Amino acid sequence: MSDAETRLQAAKNRMGTFSKAAGKVMQGFQAVAKAATAEGHFDSGQRELIAVALSVAKGCDDCILYHVDAAKRHGASEEALIEVLEVAVEMGGGPAVMYASRALETWRTL
């Protein structure tokens, strides 16, 4: 198991623990997440890539792990990831460059 896979599993475990502690809130959050990534004008992979870009701009390591994994599972390409990372860098400046490099590394190691 790669380091990224280990970190992803740890993040999922933490979310599971919080979900048990705050069940009603997490049920609502999971409903929002499911609706937000459902196919519409954008397919699920594209929606997950948007989530990666937002994760980079917000600087959330665990979000990057989670949404890169989901984007890959939904068939997104590395080329598409790089394009959304470019937009994230435009919007997030220098800190987003650091998180964009983490997102690309995560993509290549998951």
CATH code, domain carrying 73: 1.20.1290.10
Mean pLDDT of the chain: 96
pLDDT band at residue 67 under the 50/70/90 scheme: very high
Query: Which residue segment(s) compose the domain that 21 sits in?
Result: 3-109
Say what the alpha-carbon torsion angle 99, 30, 2, 84 is, to the nearest 10 degrees.
-30
pLDDT band at residue 82 under the 50/70/90 scheme: very high
- DSSP code of residue 12: H
Q: What integer pLDDT is reported at residue 1 of this predicted model?
A: 85
Specify the number of domains making up the chain: 1
